[in-house]
Structure 1
Amino acid sequence: MNNTYLLMFITLYLVSYFYYIKISKGLGHKAEYLQLRRFFPCALLAVLPMYLTQTPLTYIPYIISLITGTLWVTIYPLLYYLTYHKASSDFGFHLDVVFGLYITSWLISLKLLVQYLNIAVIPLLFIISCMEFIIVLIPITQILYYSVYKSCVNDSSIMLMRETDHNETIEFYKSLPITIQVLIPIILISAFAAINAGNQFLVQTFIHIADYNFYILIAATLFLTFYLWNTKKGVFIRTGIIELLLDVNKYIKETNLYTANLSERLKTLQVNPTTPNFDKPSTIIMVIGESESRDYMSAFTNYQYDTTPWLNKMKKTKNFILFPNSYACKDQTVPALERALTEVNQYNNKKFFESCSIIDIAKKAGYKTYWFSNQGHIGSAETAITLVANTADKAEWTKQNLNKPQYDETLLDYLKTVNPSENNFIVLHLMGNHFNFINRYPQNFAKFSKPNKYDLIPNYLDSITYTDYVLQQITDFAKTTLNLQALLYFSDHATIPDKRRSPNFAGFATVRIPMFLYLSDEYIDKNKQVVKNINDNSTKYFTNDLIYEFICGILNIKSNHYDETNSIASEKYKYTKEMLKTNLGELWIKDDNI
């Protein structure tokens, strides 16, 4: 190996090693020594193809491969370090370094072999360019993510991306400045074009490889192909970002056990009574809001505008009870509702796929169950919400046109399909106040904003007023047609309307949610103790991962899967402000200084 290749090898080896040491924390001497040995063959292989073919290190396809590998060596470990070095005392990502060096070798080996064999050179190099572009896109995406959120990609952000449906993606993209909308595809196309042009550079150049060196290059390429990409122990699946992605996929697979375990759960579930205690067939409704903050609702605060005129009137009657100290357990839809809908909460160790849901309870209590949603399938039929919804006797989602907003009042049409001669338990899942707010209400409802004008806070206020109207329509229809006995409304989480949505916890304002309960005169008369308990507890603090127990209390049942001490409808309700948490148990509600 002449001096140029030797110097390149030494540089890659030392820079990679000391970079790894610098951005790791809590490494012992054994780990440091282990990587000192491990990075040696990695750096060697990153230069070996160039040495075997005696190709200059200034060869443009090699420079492109080297940049690709360098991005993998540096980006995830660096962004993780910047995000967590003050909070974590033990981390290191040696396999990102290994992958970066090996991917450099693998990519340039493929390019050199294609050039040397001189068979379908242009199309094969185009395919390699496509692969390289995808490989480059992963660290580039992480850089863009960090530039926006000042945090490295984590499990919450990956879950959020998995949960986002097509409508939300389109709305988010359209909400970006027009220059950004135009620049993104231009940049992506230009980046691919540059990679492909670089790899096709000097495509007619003859690559000379001695026979012995050719076999070494083939062997190295085959080794790298297996070592990088095998699905059990390959380096790729053990890099930081991919391991994170696989952990999320594992969680989703475990979540899917919910359906498989359904019959076993129901077999052991005991509920008493098994028929509702009303004079004639009746209905219980639970309405799930989306991204609604009580901070902007005049029924809950002294807000400067009357954003909830209907609820303001209703809260003065004995039939409506408001809960002004309610919080979400998480500032994201799926993890919040996974807990709200089932026995799982921040205060126990239950697993979702082993837990009973409000649908299970309602069925055993003698109700026909319905789930009507204006949320689509939340991006995936695998989410906990959809899995619970699909256990209802009837579950339907509004048919969403990707370019046309679907307003929540559409759900009234679904309510009209419910049989009033049966006992019904209905879940309505609103699109509510989800960004992009201007798309959440018909423009003739614009009161605080100008029609069709994008203006975040005024649009958000109008969406709240429209939700107030929708809740009025639902309540009035169900009272008139379905013998409505109780209607519980709560939001999955809140939002800060003039702040960019983030997968990371952005403050208590993102979890201050509204919650209220309507009870009929008949319900009040037949469930005096429950009503007293609810009124007594209405100003106590509450997190929405305890909704499951609240529903059990409203149904006034006893069950081996109902802990009354978790129910705000019970005199045994045990929680105080000092005991409650949010952000999946990481933060205390008592620290919300409002």
Structure 2
Amino acid sequence: MSRIIKKEYLLHSLLALALMNLVFWTTKSEISEVGIELFLRKSAVCAIVVYVMQCLVKRPFFSRRWTAPLLFMGWWYLFAFVKCFVFSSGHSDLYENEIFIGTYGAAALIGLHCFCAAKESRAALFLVSLFEWLLCIPPVVTYVHQMIYGRPVVFEEMRAVYNTSYRETYEWFITYVGPVNMLVMAAVLALTMYLIQYAGRFAFKDTVEPMTAGRKCIILLAALGALYYPADLLQRTDCTGYFAKAVEYSLEVKNYSKTIADRYENIKLTNPAEVGGTPHTVIMVIGESSGRDYMRAYNNDVPYDNTPWLSQCKNDSSFIVFNNAYACYSLTQQVLENALTERSYYNNKAFLESMNILDIAKKKGYKTYWITNLGGINSASSFALVASRADVVKAQAAPYDESMLDYMKEVVDPNTNNFIVLHGNGSHAAYKSRYPEDREVFKEHTVEAEYSNSLRYVDDFLKKVYEYGKDNLNLQVMLYYPDHGENLKTGHGPSDLSFDKVRIAMLMYFGEDYRKRNPERIKRLVSRRDTFFTNDMMYNTVSGILNAESNFYDGAEDLSGAGYKFTLDDLWTFANEVKVAEDPFLKH
């Protein structure tokens, strides 16, 4: 009888091996013979694990009792087919990770279900089913992302997910998914969890023979051992793999604060010229999700007068409004990691080895301020680590961005040279949350009107910052640029490479004293109002504007400098993926 049972286990193991190979040969790419041999060996080892697990639980692999684990295996096999035949243009990738996650995962779950049944613990079964449900989520994330953006998840998006706040996550869902769809998704997830729980109960259907404590322990250890390989594969597969890399990268950048102090001591300024008479102030306002396509100042076809102050600045000789600025990427983290430091997508210098504009300003003699309305400083965020280098850091999460101006009025000393960075929520979704109800200018209940109201609020905010700085702080320089633009349907995720996500506004103001002291720089900037520029070169441009050229400066990336060398054909956006010259707007 024992031989018959073991023969049945062997047959089930061979069937599992056949299924793995069926999926592999159906979806495999054109790989080398070595790659094929490696898969065959891996699948054979997996079949052995399946056989051993059957011997331990004393039930065949393809048993009604293991309905839930088998559904898990089928789910991951299906994911491999969907990726190959629906998401891909063909057999361009190797899908063995999905195969082994499904098969090893099923073997491990069988052991865990058997252990729960032996313990007669429904609570333990619930936890195992919850664990199984969570392991089924990554394919869902990939599928939903593909449906929205038409492309798979990328690493930079997972960096943004890891570093984003709960508030931004909630607002993203409200704006781009909507309450109704969120309820539908919640219902589907709840139903899926119920089905997994229901299928898991089959482990209790048959009579469970008494087990010794030692055998229970062996089954549990075998199940946990079988989980090791799929757990490792999950760290290299799709969204979970990129998320794991994002966590690893964020842990690495925490070393920035340990290394920047030594580099600060090595800054050697090469230009002794002053920006203006002492005391004076320089203000850099970093916008959020403000695309110039939707601004009346840039596009007369916009039906909303949402940038009256910016439009006025175009006719004021104290201001320079630039017409062809682009974001280097469409996610805040990646843009500011470059815009605030030496690193750019043209030099690809490591973030940990890059000087930042706050330390340059300090070396030039400024008291530095970083005032943000995005909430607490996240030590895993690269640009937040740069922010922490400021002499004064104020990280608040007030309802509206004008609170940053209120704080600035309280703490900034007009009798010192000040370099102030204001980083607000700007026009980040949800747009209606970006402005008070009494500041709603456009009353239509549409996404376009809400976005325009947020842009109008930012326009008013910039005007107030300028007026306060000019009247109270001897403002000599004010810079404004958003991190990136926006698409009103898909937000600013990079997957669809939509150019409205990277077309940005850019404004510079220079006081009378600055203009007198720096006439050549002003002349160059005025002549370049139509020059093409990406905001990953902002560090070098601001260094030049501050007359703070140093051993950490590259004049080729300084829009204000004599050595600026970039033309339209040289520029990239979405990192190094798309040339700015490919912008459809330029072709028309």
TM-score of the pair, normalised by structure 1: 0.90
- Structure-1 residue corresponding to 2:184: 183
> Which amino acid in 1 is paired with 2:316?
T
Alignment-derived partner of residue 288 in structure 1: 286
Q: Match of 2:150? A: 150
- Mapped to 2, the partners of 1:152 and 1:576 lie a distance apart of 32
Q: Which residue of 2 aligns with 1:30?
A: 34
- Deviation, 1:325, is 0.5
Give secondary structure in 2 for the equivalent of 1:396. strand
The CA deviation string for residues 488-511 of structure 1, in whole angstroms up to 9 with x for no partner, is: 001111012244553414321211
CA gap of 1:330–1:76, structure 2 versus 1, over 3 A, is farther
Letter in 2 for 1:126: F
CA distance in 1, matches of 2:491, 2:564: 36
1:558 counterpart SS class:
coil
Q: Could you tell which deviates more after superposition, 40-49 or 8-17?
A: 40-49
| Paired amino acid for 1:153 | V
Describe the SS at the equivalent of 1:370: strand
Partner of 2:426: 432
The whole-number CA distance in structure 2 between the counterparts of 1:274 and 1:371 is 25
How far, CA to CA, are the matches of 1:481 and 1:359 in structure 2?
22
Matches of 2:112 and 2:148 in 1, distance apart?
35
Give the Cα–Cα distance (whole angstroms) in 1 for the partners of residues 257 and 300 of structure 2: 45
1:261 and 2:263 matched: no
Cα distance in 2 between the residues matched to 1:509 and 1:179: 27
Distance in 1 between the 2:366 and 2:84 partners?
A: 49
Which of 92, 98, 102 is matched with 1:100 structurally? 102
Counterpart of 1:14, as a letter, is A
Q: Does 1:110 align with 2:108?
A: no
- Give 1:293 shift: 1.1
User: Which of 532, 541, 544 is the aligned partner of 1:541?
Assistant: 532
What do residues 386-430 of structure 1 show as CA deviations (whole Å, max 9, x unaligned)? 111111001112234xxxxx1111111111021111100000012
Q: Which residue pairs with 1:169 in the alignment?
A: 169
1:15 counterpart = 2:19:
yes
Distance across 1 between alignment mates of 2:133 and 2:252: 32
Q: Distance in 1 between matches of 2:234 and 2:499?
A: 37
Task: Return the letter of the residue paired with 2:364.
Answer: A
State how far apart, in whole Å, the 2-side matches of 1:236 and 1:99 are.
Answer: 7
Structure 2 counterpart of 1:542, one-letter code: F
Give the whole-Å Cα distance in 1 for the aligned partners of 2:390 and 2:180. 45
Aligned-partner Cα distance in 1 for 2:260–2:56? 60
Which of 239, 244, 247 is matched with 1:249 structurally? 247
**What whole-Å deviation, never above 9, does each CA across 1:501-532 have from its counterpart, x for those lacking one?**
53414321211100010111111111111111
Q: How does 1:65-144 map to 2 (within 5 A)?
A: 65-75=69-79, 78-79=82-83, 82-83=86-87, 85=89, 91-116=93-118, 119-144=119-144
Q: State the aligned residue count.
A: 578
Structure 2 gaps of 5+ residues are none
Instruction: Write the letter of the residue equivalent to 1:422.
Output: T
Residue 252 (structure 1) shift = 1.5
Which amino acid letter does the alignment assign opposite residue 96 of structure 1?
A: E
Task: Provide the C-alpha distance between the structure 1 equivalents of 2:205 and 2:18, rounded to a whole number of angstroms.
Answer: 35
Instruction: Name 1:553's counterpart in structure 2.
Output: 544
Q: 1:392 aligns with which of 379, 390, 393?
A: 390
- Kindly indicate whether residue 424 of structure 2 is the aligned counterpart of residue 422 of structure 1: no
* 1:11–1:147 CA distance, 2 compared to 1 (3 A): farther
Does the 8 Å CA contact 2:250/2:381 hold for their aligned counterparts?
A: yes
TM-fit CA distance, 1:586: 1.3
Distance in 1, Cα, partners of 2:400 & 2:253: 30
SS at match of 1:324: strand
Q: Contact 2:374–2:397 at 8 Å: present in 1 too?
A: no
Q: Deviations over 1:241-297 (max 9, x none)?
A: 543332222221222221111112112211245684533310000000111111122
Partner of 1:271: 269
Q: Check whether the contact 1:290–1:433 (CA below 8 A) recurs between aligned residues.
A: yes
Partner of 2:460: 469
**Aligned partners of 2:85, 2:330: CA distance in 1, in Å?**
25
- Provide the residue aligned with 2:355 in structure 1: 356
The alpha carbon displacement at 1:102 in A equals 1.3
Structure 2 match to 1:403:
none
Q: In 1, distance between residues paired with 2:470 and 2:362?
A: 22
Q: Partners of 1:253 and 1:202 in 2: how far apart?
A: 41
Return closer, same or farther for 1:221/1:485 CA change in 2, 3 Å cut-off.
same
- Superposed CA offset, 1:298-348 (max 9, x none): 222333443211121122111000110100000111101110000000110
Deviation digits for residues 47-102 of structure 1 (CA, Å, limit 9, x no counterpart): 6544665546675551111111333344268537754556x95x424343223211
Could you say if the C-alpha distance between residues 384 and 525 of structure 1 is closer, same or farther in structure 2, counting changes exceeding 3 Å?
same
- Which residue number corresponds to residue 529 of structure 1? 520
Q: Aligned letter for 1:148?
A: I
The amino acid across from 2:137 in the alignment is L
Aligned to 1:329: 328
Contact 2:325 2:504 in 1 (8 A): yes
Give 1:44 deviation, angstroms: 4.4
Q: C-alpha separation between the residues in 1 aligned to 2:139 and 2:584?
A: 38
Specify the code of the residue in structure 2 equivalent to 1:430.
G
Q: Determine the C-alpha separation between the residues in 1 that align with 2:584 and 2:148.
A: 27
Query: SS state of the match for residue 569, structure 2?
Result: coil
User: Unaligned stretches of 5+ in structure 1?
Assistant: 401-405
Matches within 5 A, 1:470-549: 470-499=461-490, 501-549=492-540
Against the structure 1 CA distance between its residues 81 and 525, is the aligned structure 2 distance closer, same or farther, given a 3 Å change threshold?
Answer: farther
- Deviation string for 1:449-495 (max 9, x for gaps)? 33xx3x11111112111111110000001111111001000111101
Q: Distance in 1 between matches of 2:369 and 2:157?
A: 31
Whole-angstrom distance in 2 between the partners of 1:549 and 1:556: 11
Q: CA deviation at 1:446?
A: 2.4
- Partner Cα distance (2:313, 2:400) in 1: 23
Query: What is the alpha-carbon distance in structure 1 between the residues aligned to residue 469 and residue 130 of structure 2?
Result: 56
Structure 1 residues 142 and 47, CA gap change in structure 2 (3 angstroms):
farther
Query: Following the alignment from structure 1 to structure 2, what is the Cα–Cα distance between the partners of residues 239 and 575?
Result: 38
For the aligned residue pairs, the C-alpha RMSD in angstroms reads 2.8
Could you say if the C-alpha distance between residues 387 and 83 of structure 1 is closer, same or farther in structure 2, counting changes exceeding 3 Å? farther
* Contact 1:412–1:474, Cα closer than 8 Å, also in 2: yes
Matched, 1:316 2:307: no
Q: Work out whether residues 273 and 365 of structure 1, in 8 Å CA contact, stay in contact via their aligned partners in 2.
A: no
The TM-score, its normalising length taken from structure 2, stands at 0.91
In structure 1, C-alpha distance between the alignment counterparts of 2:275 and 2:151, rounded to whole Å: 53
- In 1, distance between residues paired with 2:325 and 2:232? 47
